[in-house]
Amino acid sequence: MRSLPTLIFIGGLLHFAILIASVLVPRTLDWKVQLAKLPRLLRDLIWVHGVFIVLVIIGFGTLSVTHASLLAGSCPLARSICAFIAIFWFCRLIVQAFIFDAERYLTTPLLAAGYHGLSGVFIYLTLTYAAAALV
């Protein structure tokens, strides 16, 4: 079994991999056309929320890659950060499983594999950071 710092480091890399999906979302969901139907405030709100989520993911990834050993330690701050990251990805997994209805957008085998692969990544991140939080 890999050590917890290694698992967290891998988790950090996975955060950056998730950003690939984030970059594809606007084009795959045709945001240019779909968001044009909304009032400007709502359009801007969606873009701002998207950017802030990307920044959070970059932060999680950066912390995990640069401080994996510290995050794997028993320091209360490290455990709290790991608990927050685990809760974040658990909630995202629940959204993926029970709220999003993406089937009509999964028009190619690659999109379907990517979407379902994200679920596996969310499970990995949830379990890894929960384990670190509970050490």
Q: Which residue has the tokens 């190619």?
A: 108
d(CA 85, CA 92): 11
Average pLDDT over the chain, rounded to an integer: 95
Q: What is the pLDDT of residue 124?
A: 98
Q: How many CB atoms lie within 10 A of CB 93?
A: 18
Domain borders along the chain are 4-134
Residue 85 pLDDT more than 90?
A: yes
Q: Which two tokens stand for residue 41?
A: 């405030």
Q: What is the pLDDT of residue 1?
A: 57
Q: What is the pLDDT of residue 21?
A: 87
Entry pTM: 0.93
Are the beta carbons of 121 and 81 closer than 8 angstroms?
no
Q: What is the pLDDT of residue 2?
A: 80
**Could you report the per-residue pLDDT of 37-83, keeping only the tens digit for each?**
999 999 999 999 999 999 999 999 999 999 999 999 999 999 999 99
